[in-house]
Amino acid sequence: MKLLISPASPFVRKARLLIREAGLTDRVQEVEVSTTPLATDTSVMAANPIGKIPALLRGDGPAIYDSRVITRYLDALAGGKFYPEARIWEVLTLEATADGIMDAAVNLTYEGRFRTPEMQSAAWMDAQWGKASRGVSAINERWMSHLSGPLDISHMAVACALSYLDLRHDARGWRAGNDALAAWHASFSERASMVATKPG
């Protein structure tokens, strides 16, 4: 199998984390592509008509895409450890919260990177940060007990979301008022999978 990636993408990183945590590195080849919202790589477009990464090319079926689909598929191949049925709705909800933070943060990045200054909307950018900030606060206030439990995909998603905020929006200071989550993230960032997938 081949995973189409761009290392800075938090959605890609989530899939890369699961590959390492699930012991699938010998089964999935990571192929780096250069793609943007305005210039989609042809291999990405062939795999995913929406033109987004990650996309997983399989030898025994059509390509699959969307990070949540890919991680669920790969986890199933590895035995289903990281989507535990006993707490599946909590896991999926926390993963969705983290993905929402990523989505807002990526939109904020794109506004600054791909729209000319005169076209950028400060109000829209503030609204995107508001979504990300509320998500971070909700995790800090409601989900720390879950993050203290056995490793699952939601831990990986949260770590990728917070690390992306550090990468692209560090000046906005997500840690303020979120001490428990900041401490958790510092510890989680030391995992071998996090170190191996840190954008250069």
Mean pLDDT of 174-187: 98
Q: What CATH number has the domain bearing residue 70?
A: 3.40.30.10
Mean pLDDT of 169-190: 98
User: pLDDT, tens digit, for every residue of 66-87?
Assistant: 999 999 999 999 999 999 999 9
**pLDDT value of position 80:** 94
What sign does the CA torsion over 79, 147, 94, 14 have? Answer: negative
Percentage of the chain modeled with pLDDT above 70: 100
Dihedral, 146, 190, 192, 71 alpha carbons, nearest 10:
30
Contact partners, residue 16, CB within 8 Å, separation at least 6? 3, 5, 30, 193, 197
Domain residue limits at 117: 85-192
Q: What is the mean pLDDT of the chain?
A: 96
The one-letter amino acid code at 156 reads: M
User: pLDDT, tens digit, for every residue of 23-35?
Assistant: 999 999 999 999 8
Domains identified in the chain, total number: 2
d(CA 55, CA 35): 12
Q: Which of 77, 112, 140 is the last residue in one of the domains?
A: 77
The one-letter amino acid code at 117 reads: P
Domain assignment present for 150:
yes
User: What is each CA distance from 117 to 35, 98, 108, 121, in whole angstroms?
Assistant: 22, 29, 13, 9
Query: Looking at the predicted structure, is the pLDDT value of residue 200 above 90?
Result: no
Query: Looking at the predicted structure, is the pLDDT value of residue 196 above 90?
Result: yes
Q: Which of 31, 60, 77 is the last residue in one of the domains?
A: 77
Query: Looking at the predicted structure, is the pLDDT value of residue 13 above 90?
Result: yes
Give yes or no: residues 92 and 186 share one domain. Answer: yes
Domain assignment present for 69:
yes
Mean pLDDT of 6-13: 97
Q: What CATH number has the domain bearing residue 127?
A: 1.20.1050.10
